[in-house]
Amino acid sequence: MIKPLIDTFCQLPYQIDYAQNQFKTAHYLHLRCLSADQHYDLCQVLRYLHTVGLKNNNSFNRYRNEVEKLLLWLWYQKSQTLTYINEAVLKEYMVFIQCPPTEWCSQSRVSRFIDTDDIRTYNPLWRPFTQSSHSYESRASVFTVLNHFCNYLIDKKIINTNPVKLLRKTDPILTSKIKPQTKPETPSSKKLLAAFSQWHDDIHRMRDLMLFYFVRYKHIQLQAFTLQNDGFIPLYCHLNIAEKVFYYYHQGQLKPVHLCPFGYKIAMQYVNLRGNIQNHVAPLLHKKRGDGAYEVRQLRRMLKSIESELNTYA
C-alpha cells in the first residue's frame, strides 16, 4: 500500500522534529520503518518544503504533492533515492505520471492523515494520484516544481546537474503543435442572468461570477489577477463603480476596461456585498480564508466550477 509521507504545512514543524528523532513517537508510526537512505531523503524533502511554505504558504500543497509523488516513485518503483535523479530517471518518471497504475490512484481526494485517539496516522484511503486526466497545464506545473526542487538538491550537493530544463524543452506533450483548447464556449447571457439571480446574496459566488465575466467576456488573462503578473494584482479600489470602469495591470501600467450593463450589475452587487473597505491595498478578489493574492491554478479551479454550474442552466 502506498502511504503518504508529508503532512500539512501546519503540522510540518512537528514532523521535522519527529524525523530528527527517527520518528520514535506514536505519531507517523509507518515512517519509522524507512531505511536510512529513505529517512535521509525524507528529511531533505521536509526541510525543502518548509522553506517553500515560509515563502509562499499558498504554494506549499502543490510543491508537496509533486515532490512526494517523485519520492514515492523513486523508492517503490525504482528502489532508488534522490541521488539517482538524472535526465533518464526523470524522463521515465514523466511517462509514469501520465498514466499511473490503478493502485496509485483514488476516486477522489481525501485527507492524507487522520487523528485516532490523538495519534496522527495515515489515511488508508489516500493515494498519490486521482483518476482525473493529467492535463497539459498540470504537466507544465510538474516541470515547474521539479525544476525548483532540483535546484535545491544541487545546492545541497545531492545531485550535480538539473535535468528538468532540457526535459521541459523536449517533452513530447508540452512541445506538441496541437495543444488543448483553453477557451471554452462562452455561455449565453441568459445563463449568466439565471446564475446572478440565484447567487445574488452569496459574496463568494458573486466574486467568482465577476472573475468569469472579466476573463470570458472581457478576455483578461487569468495571470493578470495574480502576482505572476510582474508582481502586480488588481486591487479593490481599481473597481470604479461610479465610472463603470475596472483597471488592471498590463505591462506594468493600469489599463481600463469599461463594464457593459451586465458586468456593471455583477460588479455593483459584489461591492454591495463586500461593503466599505478601508484598506486601500486590499486585493480585488477576496479569499474565504486568509489574505493575499490567488495563484493561477486556484483561479482556474474557480472558473471551472462556475462553468460547470452554468452548464446546468437551460
Same domain, residue pair 150 and 275: no
Q: Is 303 left (phi over 0), alpha (psi -120 to 50) or beta?
A: alpha
Same domain, residue pair 213 and 143: no
Same domain, residue pair 86 and 194: no
Residue type, 138: S
Same domain, residue pair 123 and 267: no
Same domain, residue pair 63 and 142: yes
> Residue 292: is its pLDDT beyond 90?
no
Residue 232: name the closest of 254, 204, 200, 202 by CA: 254
Residue 38: name the closest of 1, 84, 7 by CA: 84
Query: Is residue 154, in this structure, part of any structural domain at all?
Result: yes
Say which residue the cell 461591492 belongs to. 271
Query: Is residue 177, in this structure, part of any structural domain at all?
Result: no
Same domain, residue pair 18 and 160: yes
Task: Report the half-sphere exposure of 293 (CA within 13 A, side-chain side).
Answer: 18
CA distance 187 to 262: 13
| pLDDT, tens digit, 9 for 90 and up, residues 170-212 | 888 887 755 555 455 556 677 778 888 888 899 999 999 999 9
Same domain, residue pair 36 and 85: yes
CA distance 267 to 163: 46
Residue 13: name the closest of 64, 53, 40 by CA: 53
Query: Is residue 182, in this structure, part of any structural domain at all?
Result: no
| pLDDT, tens digit, 9 for 90 and up, residues 36-95 | 999 999 999 999 999 999 887 778 999 999 999 999 999 999 999 999 999 999 999 999
Query: Is residue 33, in this structure, part of any structural domain at all?
Result: yes
CA distance 233 to 292: 10
Same domain, residue pair 109 and 195: no
Q: Three cell numbers at 80?
A: 532508488
Q: Say if strands 129-130 and 119-122 run parallel, antiparallel, or are unpaired.
A: unpaired
Same domain, residue pair 212 and 90: no
Query: Is residue 225, in this structure, part of any structural domain at all?
Result: yes
Q: Three cell numbers at 295?
A: 495563484
Same domain, residue pair 146 and 208: no
Say which residue the cell 486590499 belongs to. 282
The answer to whether 184 and 108 are in contact (CB under 8 A) is: no
What is the predicted pLDDT for the residue at 230? 56
CA distance 207 to 275: 13
Host domain of residue 88:
12-170
Same domain, residue pair 162 and 210: no
What is the predicted pLDDT for the residue at 180? 52
Reported as type and span, the H/E element at residue 14 is helix 12-20
Query: Is residue 57, in this structure, part of any structural domain at all?
Result: yes
pLDDT tier at 253, thresholds 50, 70, 90: confident
Same domain, residue pair 126 and 193: no
Residue 6: name the closest of 111, 131, 83 by CA: 111
Total domain count, the chain: 2
pTM: 0.61
